[in-house]
C-alpha cells in the first residue's frame, strides 16, 4: 500500500508541476514525464505483486469517523483495475503532452494535465477504497474531473451539451449509489466493505432492491444499453487522450462496481444473472450495430465501447449464473473472462482512440469518409491501429481473442452443464454475432480510413505526429500483442481475480481447466508461422521482383478516389438487415448515397423523458420567488408536516 | 501430433484443389457439357505460381500480407480437425473459438486487401463478404453449441471425434439438422451457389471473386488454393458430423473421409445445377434459416 500511496503522490505532483511550470513548457513536459511515469510504474508494480499472489494488509484511518473508518486495501480485484488505470493512464498522460502542445498559449494546457493526473489518482482511490465513503468520494471526484476534461473545448456548443448530459447521468448514478449503500448498511450505519460483506440475511425485497439499484448505477457508468446514451456524446466531445482514458478505464469503474458488489453481496439470485446476461447481449449487439452506422470516428469507437461492455457483461452474467446455480468453475471462468476483457479493452480501445487522435490531429477532421490512404502517410500509427482493430475484433493471435475465448468457454460450459443454465450457451451465438459485426465495422474503419487513396485534400497531407504521440500508441499495440502471445502469463492472474469475485478458493479452477498452455502454443505458433511466411514471401519477392500498375478498375482507365467505396456504402447491406434497431436515416439521390446515424435511446426515450421532467418542474416554478422569508416559511411548513406525519403514524422522535 | 495425423493433413492439403474440380465436373455433367478437368485448379495454380506479380501503386503491405495470412490461417484451422475421426493434431478446451477466429482472421485480411486497392468493385465485394459472414458466423456457433450439447466436449477434436459417435443414437435428429445447417454454411462461406456464383465473371455480381480482382501471380495462387482448402475444411466438418469415424481403423477412416468429401463436392455441384443464385438481399434469410435448423438441433437436446 505504501508503494501505491507513493505512486499516487508522484502522479499528483506531476500534475501540479505541469501547471506550476507551464511558463516553461519543455521543463514542464520533462518533469511531468518523469514524475507521472514513476508514479504509474510504482502503482503498476504494486498491482502486479498482488496479482502474482502477494497479500497486502488493509490501511485504516479514523476509526471514529461517521459511517465507519476509511479503509484502503489492494486485493486482486482492485489490483487488476489499478493495473489498467496506471497503464492506460500513463499512455494517455504522455500522449496528451504532445497532443495539447499546439494549444499552448490560448488555453490552459497545464491545467488539463493537472486534471488528468488528478483523474488517474481519483480512479485509483476508487478501486483501492474498502469502505463506502472513500469509494463514493473517489467516484464523485472522478466524475467531476472527467466532466472538466470532457469540456476542454468548452467554446463549442456540442461539447457543452455532451458535458452536461454526462454530468447529469453521472449524478443520477451516484444518487443511486447512495441509495444502494444506505439500504445495504441498514440500521448499523457501518459502511466499511467488511461490514457490508458481513451483512445478515436481507429481508425479502431488500437484497433484490440493492442488486437492481447497483446494476442501474454501475450500468450508467459502464455505458451498458440502455444506459449508454451519454457515452458517445462525451467520448466524441473530449480530446482524444481523454476519450481514451474514459473509454479505457473510467467506464470500467462500472464493471469494477458490479464485481465488487458481487464480492460483498455473495451469490446473487439467478434472475439477476439472466438480467446481466441479457443486458450484455443487448449492449453487445446494439453497440456494434450503432457503431457500424457512425461516420465520426470517435463516435464509432465510443459505440464500440458499448459493445465491449456488452461482451464483459456476458462474462459477468455467466459468472453470476454460475454462482447462482452452484457451478464454481463457470463462475470463476466467467468473471476471469470479464476481467481479462476489461484489461484488454482498456489496452486496445485506448490504442484506437489515441491512434485515431493522431489522424485527427494531422487532418483536422473526424469524418471517416474524408480520410483514405492514411496508411501510406502515417505508417507507424496505421500499423498500430491495425493491430488494435484486429484485437478488438477478437482475432487470434491478439489479446482480444484470449479474453473472448475464455468468455466463449464459460458460455459453452454453461450450455453443456444441464439445467436452466443451459440457455446461457446461446450467449456464445450472440458473442459470435457481435464478433462478426465488429469485424465488418473495423474492416470499414481501417479500409476507408487508412487504405485506398485519399478522398480529401486533408487526408492527402497527413503526416506522422511527434514521436511523443507515436510511442504510447506503439507501446499499447505491443501490450496487445504480448498478451495475445502469452495467454499463460495472464490467464492464471485473471482466474485468481475470478475466484475472488466468485468467493471460492483459487485452487478450484487451475490454469489447466482453461488450457492456457495449449492456447499459448497456438497463439505463439500462429504468430511465428505468420512471421516465417512473411519472411519467406519477402525472400521470394526480392528474388523475382514485381511490377507496379494502377488498380484494375475493370477496364475503366480514369478511376478517381471519389469512386472508392464509402463508409456509408460499405455498411449499407448490414444496416439494411438490422434496420429495425439501427436508427439510421438514409438519403439517396442520383449521385450520392448517405446514411445518417442517430441514437434511438437518446432521441426517442431519454430526451422526451427529460423534457417531460422539465415541464413538470416548470409547473413548480411559481413557488420560487426569490424571497428569503418565503423559503424559511417552506422549511417551517415542511418540519410541521413531518411532525404531523410522525404523530399520525404513532412514532416518536 | 502423430505421423498418421500429419500424413492425413498432408493428404487433405494435396487433395483440396480437387474438391471444387469435382463440383464443377458434376455441374457440367448434369447440364450436358464436358466441362473442365477435375484437376483444372492444379494446372491453374501451377501456372500462376510461375507468373510474375503486379501490385497496384495504391496498395500497402496490407495487400501483400493478405494472401499468406489467408493461407496460414486456413492451414492452422485444419490442425484442429480430427481427420481420422479420433483426435486432432492440435486441440484444447475451447479450440472451436480458435477455429472460428482463424476463419475470421483470413476474412479480415482478405477484406482489408480488397479495400487497400481503393477500387469500388473490391469495396463492394468486401462489404458483401462481411455482410454474409455476419450471418454465417453465429450459425456456425449454433452448430457448435448443438455439438457441445450432444457430446459434452468443448473442443473440436472431441465434438467431432469419439464422443460424437456415442451421441448419434441419442441425438440423431439433432445432429442431422446440424449437418444440414453446416452444409448451407459450406455453400455460403465458400461463395457457392445459391449465395454467390463461382462461374460468373461480371464484377458487379460477384462476392469472393471480386475481392481478389487485383491479386495476381503467386499471390492469387495462394488465395485460390486457400479457397479450395476452406471448402475442404467445411467439407470435413459436414462429413464428420454425418459419419463419425472413431470406430474405424485409421486408413479406413481416412478413406471414408475423402470419399465423403467427394460426395460433398458432388452435392455442391448438384445444388449449383438445380438452383440459381439468390438475390443478395435474400442471402441473410437463407442463413437465418440455417441458423434456425441448428437452433432446433439445440432445442431438441435441452433437458
Coil, strand or helix at B243? coil
Q: Is A375 near chain B, with CB under 8 Å?
A: yes
Domain termination residue (choose one: A486, A509, A536): A536
| Cα angle: B173, vertex B179, B180; to 5 degrees | 95
Query: Is pLDDT above 80 for A421?
Result: yes
On whether the CB atoms of residues B5 and B87 are closer than 8 A, the answer is yes
Could you report the per-residue pLDDT of A156-171, keeping only the tens digit for each? 999 999 999 999 999 9
Flag whether A627 is in a domain: yes
pLDDT reported for residue A586: 80
Q: Is A601 near chain B, with CB under 8 Å?
A: no
pLDDT reported for residue A652: 65
Q: Where are the domains of chain B?
A: 3-299
Q: What percent of chain A has pLDDT over 70?
A: 97
Q: Work out the pLDDT band at A417, boundaries 50, 70, 90.
A: confident
Query: Is pLDDT above 90 for A532?
Result: yes
pLDDT reported for residue A511: 52
On whether the CB atoms of residues B62 and B114 are closer than 8 A, the answer is no
| Residues from chain B contacting residue A544 (CB–CB below 8 Å) | 52-53
Query: Is pLDDT above 70 for A546?
Result: yes
Domain termination residue (choose one: A510, A536, A562): A536
Residue A273's nearest CA partner among A224, A217, A322 is A322
| Residues from chain B contacting residue A525 (CB–CB below 8 Å) | 76
Q: Which of A413, A436, A518 to mutate to test the interface with B (most CBs of B within 10 A)?
A: A436
CA distance A541 to chain B (A): 9
- A422 and A284 co-located in one domain: yes
Distance separating alpha carbons of residues A351 and A365, to the nearest angstrom: 19
Could you report the per-residue pLDDT of A32-55, keeping only the tens digit for each? 999 999 999 999 999 999 998 888
Which of A395, A447, A526 faces B126 most closely, judged by CB atoms? A447
- A312 and A431 co-located in one domain: yes
Residue A451's nearest CA partner among A372, A368, A520, A358 is A372
In this structure, what C-alpha cell is assigned to residue B99? 477455429
Backbone dihedral angles phi then psi of residue A67, each to the nearest 5 degrees: 65, 25
A515:B93 CB<8 A: yes
Backbone dihedral angles phi then psi of residue B80, each to the nearest 5 degrees: -85, -10
Backbone dihedral angles phi then psi of residue B159, each to the nearest 5 degrees: -60, -35
- A305 and A392 co-located in one domain: yes
Query: Is pLDDT above 70 for A310?
Result: yes
| Cα angle: A549, vertex A554, A560; to 5 degrees | 65
For the residues of A277-340, what is the DSSP string, one character each?
Answer: HHHHHHHHHHHHHHHHH--BHHHHHHHHHHHHHHHHHHHHHHHHHHHHHT-HHHHHHHHHHHHH
Q: What is the ipTM of this complex?
A: 0.97
Distance separating alpha carbons of residues A335 and A493, to the nearest angstrom: 12
Query: Is pLDDT above 70 for A187?
Result: no
Integer CA distances (angstroms), A330 to A254, A293, A402, A411, A413, in order: 22, 35, 17, 8, 7
- A507 and A636 co-located in one domain: no
Which of A386, A429, A522 faces B142 most closely, judged by CB atoms? A429
A451:B62 CB<8 A: yes
Q: Work out the pLDDT band at A458, boundaries 50, 70, 90.
A: confident
pTM for the whole thing? 0.95
Q: How many CA atoms lie within 13 A of A193 on its CB side?
A: 27
| Cα angle: A508, vertex A513, A514; to 5 degrees | 125
Query: Sign of torsion, CA B182 B187 B188 B194?
Result: negative
* Residue A71, strand partner residues: A60
Q: Is A598 near chain B, with CB under 8 Å?
A: no
Domain termination residue (choose one: A484, A510, A536): A536
In this structure, what C-alpha cell is assigned to residue B85? 475421426
- A425 and A318 co-located in one domain: yes
- A355 and A441 co-located in one domain: yes
Which of A422, A430, A564 faces B123 most closely, judged by CB atoms? A564
Stated length of chain A: 653
B123:A443 CB<8 A: no
CA distance B98 to chain A (A): 7
A440:B134 CB<8 A: yes
pLDDT mean across residues, chain A: 91
Flag whether A130 is in a domain: no
Chain A residues 388-407 with CB within 8 Å of chain B: 390, 393-396, 401, 404-406
Flag whether A489 is in a domain: yes
Distance separating alpha carbons of residues B192 and A49, to the nearest angstrom: 54
Query: Sign of torsion, CA A381 A360 B130 B139?
Result: positive
Distance separating alpha carbons of residues A323 and A337, to the nearest angstrom: 15
The pairing of strands A593-597 and A584-588 is antiparallel
Count the helix, strand and coil residues of chain B and give each as a percent rounded to the nearest 5. 70, 0, 25
Q: Which residue has the cell 510511442?
A: A471
Q: Which residue has the higher pLDDT, A558 or B115?
A: B115
Distance separating alpha carbons of residues A532 and B75, to the nearest angstrom: 14
Q: What residues in chain B have per-residue pLDDT under 70?
A: 201, 203
On whether the CB atoms of residues B132 and B287 are closer than 8 A, the answer is yes
On whether the CB atoms of residues A328 and A298 are closer than 8 A, the answer is no
Could you report the per-residue pLDDT of B201-227, keeping only the tens digit for each? 676 777 888 898 899 999 999 999 999
Coil, strand or helix at A367? strand
Per-residue three-class SS string for A34-60: HHHHHHHHHHHHHHHHHHCCCCCCCEE
Q: Is A506 near chain B, with CB under 8 Å?
A: no
Q: Which residue has the cell 459417435?
A: B165
B58:A453 CB<8 A: yes
Backbone dihedral angles phi then psi of residue B111, each to the nearest 5 degrees: -65, -45
Q: Which of A374-383, A527-536, B213-222, B242-251 is least confident?
A: B242-251
How many domains, in total, are found in chain A? 2
| Residues from chain B contacting residue A426 (CB–CB below 8 Å) | 145, 298
> Which chain B residue has the Cα nearest residue A556?
B119
CA distance A417 to chain B (A): 8
Contacts of residue B3, Cβ cutoff 8 Å, sequence gap at least 6: none
| Residues from chain A contacting residue B60 (CB–CB below 8 Å) | 375-376, 379, 382, 451
Q: Which of B49, B56, B58, B147 to mutate to test the interface with A (most CBs of A within 10 A)?
A: B58
On whether the CB atoms of residues A107 and A87 are closer than 8 A, the answer is no
| A313, A316, A317, A318 alpha-carbon torsion, rounded to 10° | 120
On whether the CB atoms of residues A85 and A246 are closer than 8 A, the answer is no
CA distance A467 to chain B (A): 22
Integer CA distances (angstroms), B266 to A153, A425, A477, B57, in order: 64, 34, 46, 41
Q: Which residue has the cell 458460455?
A: A411
Backbone dihedral angles phi then psi of residue A357, each to the nearest 5 degrees: -60, -40
Which of A436, A534, A548 faces B68 most closely, judged by CB atoms? A534
On whether the CB atoms of residues A315 and A604 are closer than 8 A, the answer is no
Q: How many CB atoms lie within 10 A of CB A33?
A: 17
| Residues from chain B contacting residue A382 (CB–CB below 8 Å) | 60
Number of H helices, E strands in chain B: 12, 1
B148:A425 CB<8 A: yes
On whether the CB atoms of residues A110 and A17 are closer than 8 A, the answer is no
- How large is the average pLDDT for residues A299-324? 96
In this structure, what C-alpha cell is assigned to residue A149? 476534461
CA distance B32 to chain A (A): 32
Backbone dihedral angles phi then psi of residue A506, each to the nearest 5 degrees: -60, -20
The top-scoring range by mean pLDDT among A186-195, A555-564, A605-614 is A605-614
A451:B60 CB<8 A: yes
A565:B124 CB<8 A: yes
Q: How many CB atoms lie within 10 A of CB B145?
A: 28
In this structure, what C-alpha cell is assigned to residue A302? 465510443
Which of B56, B101, B121 faces A549 most closely, judged by CB atoms? B56
A436:B138 CB<8 A: yes
| Residues from chain B contacting residue A453 (CB–CB below 8 Å) | 58, 118
Contacts of residue A501, Cβ cutoff 8 Å, sequence gap at least 6: A77, A259, A262, A263, A319, A331, A335, A339
| Residues from chain A contacting residue B105 (CB–CB below 8 Å) | 390, 395-396
Backbone dihedral angles phi then psi of residue B78, each to the nearest 5 degrees: -60, -30
Q: Which of A452, A530, A540 to mutate to test the interface with B (most CBs of B within 10 A)?
A: A452
Its domain, for residue A617, covers 605-648
The pairing of strands A547-549 and B54-56 is parallel
- Report chain B's terminal Cα–Cα distance, integer Å: 36
A513:B93 CB<8 A: yes
> Which chain A residue has the Cα nearest residue B52?
A546
- A615 and A491 co-located in one domain: no
Q: What is the DSSP letter of A650?
A: T
Which strand (E) or helix (H) includes residue A597?
strand A593-597
A571:B281 CB<8 A: no
Distance separating alpha carbons of residues B214 and B193, to the nearest angstrom: 23
Query: Is pLDDT above 80 for A557?
Result: no
In this structure, what C-alpha cell is assigned to residue A619? 409547473
Distance separating alpha carbons of residues A71 and A82, to the nearest angstrom: 17
Distance, C-alpha A33 to centroid of its chain: 24
In this structure, what C-alpha cell is assigned to residue B226? 486457400
Coil, strand or helix at A119? helix
Query: Sign of torsion, CA A140 A141 A146 A147?
Result: positive
Q: Work out the pLDDT band at A447, boundaries 50, 70, 90.
A: very high
The pairing of strands A70-72 and A59-61 is antiparallel
A549:B118 CB<8 A: no
Q: How many CB atoms lie within 10 A of CB A548?
A: 11
B117:A452 CB<8 A: yes
Q: What is the DSSP letter of A595?
A: E
- A518 and A383 co-located in one domain: yes
Chain A residues 564-583 with CB within 8 Å of chain B: 564-565, 569-574, 576-577
Integer CA distances (angstroms), B283 to A265, B184, B188, in order: 48, 11, 8
- A503 and A627 co-located in one domain: no
pLDDT reported for residue A127: 96
> Which chain B residue has the Cα nearest residue A373?
B58
- How large is the average pLDDT for residues A401-420? 91
Flag whether A420 is in a domain: yes
Which of B57, B111, B138 faces A432 most closely, judged by CB atoms? B138
Q: Work out the pLDDT band at A360, boundaries 50, 70, 90.
A: very high
B115:A432 CB<8 A: no
Q: How many CB atoms lie within 10 A of CB B190?
A: 23
Residue A650 region by backbone torsions, left for phi larger than 0, else alpha for psi between -120 and 50, else beta = left
In this structure, what C-alpha cell is assigned to residue B216? 495476381
* Residue A547, strand partner residues: B54
- A371 and A488 co-located in one domain: yes
Distance separating alpha carbons of residues A384 and A633, to the nearest angstrom: 64
Amino acid at each position: 500500500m505504501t508503494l501505491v500511496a507513493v505512486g499516487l503522490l508522484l502522479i499528483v505532483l506531476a500534475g501540479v508541476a505541469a501547471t506550476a511550470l507551464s511558463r516553461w513548457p519543455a521543463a514542464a513536459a520533462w518533469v511531468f514525464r518523469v514524475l507521472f511515469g514513476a508514479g504509474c510504474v510504482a502503482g503498476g508494480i504494486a498491482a502486479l505483486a498482488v496479482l502474482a499472489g502477494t497479500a497486502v494488509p488493509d490501511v485504516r484511518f479514523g476509526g471514529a469517523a461517521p459511517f465507519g473508518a476509511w479503509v484502503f486495501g489492494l486485493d486482486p480485484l482492485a489490483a487488476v483495475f489499478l493495473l489498467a488505470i496506471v497503464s492506460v493512464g500513463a499512455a494517455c498522460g504522455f500522449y496528451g503532452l504532445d497532443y495539447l502542445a499546439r494549444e499552448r498559449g490560448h488555453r490552459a494546457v497545464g491545467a488539463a494535465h493537472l486534471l488528468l493526473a488528478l483523474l488517474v489518482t481519483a480512479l485509483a482511490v476508487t478501486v483501492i477504497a474498502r469502505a463506502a465513503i472513500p469509494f463514493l468520494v473517489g467516484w464523485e471526484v472522478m466524475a467531476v474531473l472527467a466532466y472538466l476534461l470532457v469540456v476542454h473545448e468548452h467554446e463549442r456548443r456540442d461539447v457543452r451539451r455532451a458535458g452536461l448530459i454526462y454530468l447529469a447521468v453521472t449524478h443520477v448514478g451516484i444518487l443511486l449509489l447512495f441509495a444502494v449503500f444506505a439500504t445495504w448498511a441498514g440500521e448499523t450505519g457501518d459502511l466499511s466493505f467488511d461490514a457490508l460483506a458481513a451483512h445478515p440475511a436481507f429481508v425479502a425485497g431488500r437484497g433484490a432492491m440493492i442488486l437492481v439499484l447497483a446494476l442501474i448505477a454501475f450500468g450508467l457508468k459502464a455505458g451498458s444499453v440502455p444506459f449508454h446514451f451519454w457515452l458517445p456524446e462525451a467520448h466524441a466531445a473530449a480530446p482524444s487522450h481523454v476519450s481514451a482514458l474514459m473509454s479505457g478505464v473510467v467506464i470500467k469503474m462500472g464493471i469494477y462496481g458490479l464485481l465488487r458488489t458481487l464480492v460483498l453481496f455473495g451469490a446473487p439470485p439467478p434472475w439477476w444473472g439472466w438480467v446481466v446476461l441479457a443486458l450484455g447481449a443487448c449492449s453487445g449487439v446494439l453497440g456494434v450495430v450503432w457503431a457500424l452506422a457512425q461516420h465520426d470516428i470517435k463516435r464509432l469507437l465510443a459505440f464500440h465501447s458499448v459493445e465491449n461492455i456488452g461482451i464483459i457483461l456476458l462474462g459477468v452474467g455467466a459468472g453470476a449464473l454460475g454462482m447462482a446455480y452452484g457451478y464454481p468453475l463457470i463462475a470463476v471462468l466467467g468473471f476471469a473472462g470479464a476481467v481479462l476483457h476489461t484489461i484488454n479493452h482498456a489496452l486496445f480501445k485506448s490504442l484506437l482512440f489515441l491512434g485515431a487522435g493522431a489522424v485527427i490531429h494531422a487532418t483536422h477532421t473526424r469524418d471517416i469518409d474524408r480520410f483514405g490512404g492514411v496508411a501510406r502517410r502515417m505508417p507507424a500509427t496505421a500499423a498500430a491501429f491495425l493491430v488494435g482493430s484486429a484485437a478488438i475484433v477478437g482475432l487470434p493471435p491478439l489479446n482480444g481473442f484470449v479474453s473472448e475465448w475464455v468468455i466463449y468457454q464459460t458460455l459453452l460450459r454453461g450450455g453443456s452443464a444441464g439445467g436452466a443454465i443451459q440457455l446461457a450457451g446461446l450467449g456464445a451465438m450472440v458473442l459470435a454475432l457481435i464478433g462478426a459485426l465488429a469485424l465488418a465495422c473495423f474492416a470499414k474503419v481501417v479500409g476507408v480510413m487508412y487504405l485506398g487513396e485519399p478522398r480529401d485534400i486533408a487526408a492527402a497531407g497527413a503526416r506522422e505526429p511527434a514521436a511523443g504521440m507515436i510511442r504510447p500508441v506503439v507501446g499499447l499495440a505491443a501490450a496487445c500483442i504480448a498478451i495475445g502471445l502469452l495467454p499463460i502469463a495472464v490467464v492464471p492472474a485473471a482466474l485468481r481475480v475470478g475466484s475472488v469475485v466468485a468467493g471460492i478458493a483459487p485452487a478450484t479452477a487451475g490454469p489447466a481447466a482453461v488450457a492456457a498452455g495449449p492456447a499459448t502454443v497456438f497463439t505463439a505458433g500462429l504468430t511465428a508461422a505468420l512471421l516465417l511466411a512473411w519472411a519467406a514471401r519477402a525472400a521470394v519477392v526480392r528474388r523475382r521482383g514485381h511490377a507496379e500498375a494502377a488498380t484494375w478498375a475493370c477496364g475503366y482507365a480514369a478511376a478517381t478516389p471519389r469512386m472508392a467505396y464509402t463508409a456509408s456504402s460499405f455498411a449499407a447491406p448490414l444496416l439494411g438487415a438490422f434496420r429495425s434497431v439501427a436508427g439510421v436515416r438514409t438519403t439517396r439521390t442520383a449521385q450520392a448515397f448517405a446514411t445518417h446515424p442517430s441514437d434511438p435511446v437518446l432521441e426517442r426515450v431519454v430526451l422526451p423523458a427529460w423534457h417531460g421532467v422539465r415541464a413538470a418542474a416548470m409547473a413548480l416554478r411559481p413557488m420560487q420567488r426569490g424571497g428569503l422569508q418565503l423559503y424559511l416559511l417552506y422549511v417551517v411548513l415542511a418540519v410541521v408536516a413531518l411532525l404531523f406525519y410522525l404523530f399520525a403514524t404513532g412514532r416518536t422522535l | 501430433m502423430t505421423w498418421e495425423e500429419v500424413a492425413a493433413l498432408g493428404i487433405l492439403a494435396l487433395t483440396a484443389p480437387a474438391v471444387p474440380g469435382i463440383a464443377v465436373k458434376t455441374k457440367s455433367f448434369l447440364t450436358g457439357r464436358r466441362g473442365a478437368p477435375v484437376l483444372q485448379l492444379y494446372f491453374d495454380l501451377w501456372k500462376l505460381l510461375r507468373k510474375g506479380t503486379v501490385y497496384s501503386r495504391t496498395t500497402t503491405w496490407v495487400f501483400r500480407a493478405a494472401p499468406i495470412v489467408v493461407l496460414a490461417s486456413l492451414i492452422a484451422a485444419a490442425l484442429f480437425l480430427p481427420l481420422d475421426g479420433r483426435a486432432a493434431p492440435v486441440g484444447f478446451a475451447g479450440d472451436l473459438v480458435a477455429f472460428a477466429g482463424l476463419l475470421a482472421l483470413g476474412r479480415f485480411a482478405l477484406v482489408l486487401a480488397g479495400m487497400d486497392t481503393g477500387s469500388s468493385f473490391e469495396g463492394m465485394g468486401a462489404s458483401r463478404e462481411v455482410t454474409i459472414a455476419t450471418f454465417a458466423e453465429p450459425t456456425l456457433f449454433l452448430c457448435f453449441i448443438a455439438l457441445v450439447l450432444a457430446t459434452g466436449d468443448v473442443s473440436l477434436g472431441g465434438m467431432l471425434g469419439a464422443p460424437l459417435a456415442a451421441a448419434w443414437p441419442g441425438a440423431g435428429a439433432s445432429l442431422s439438422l446440424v449437418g444440414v445447417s453446416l452444409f448451407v454454411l459450406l455453400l455460403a462461406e465458400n461463395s457457392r451457389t445459391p449465395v454467390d456464383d463461382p462461374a460468373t465473371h461480371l464484377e458487379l455480381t460477384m462476392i469472393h471473386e471480386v475481392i481478389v480482382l487485383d491479386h495476381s501471380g503467386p499471390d492469387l495462387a495462394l488465395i485460390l488454393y486457400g479457397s479450395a482448402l476452406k471448402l475442404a475444411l467445411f467439407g470435413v466438418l459436414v462429413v464428420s458430423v454425418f459419419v463419425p469415424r472413431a470406430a474405424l481403423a485409421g486408413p479406413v477412416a481416412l478413406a471414408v473421409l475423402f470419399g465423403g468429401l467427394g460426395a460433398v463436392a458432388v452435392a455442391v455441384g448438384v445444388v449449383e445445377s438445380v438452383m440459381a443464385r439468390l438475390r443478395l438481399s435474400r442471402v441473410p434469410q437463407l442463413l437465418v434459416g440455417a441458423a434456425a435448423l441448428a437452433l432446433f438441433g439445440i432445442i431438441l437436446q435441452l433437458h
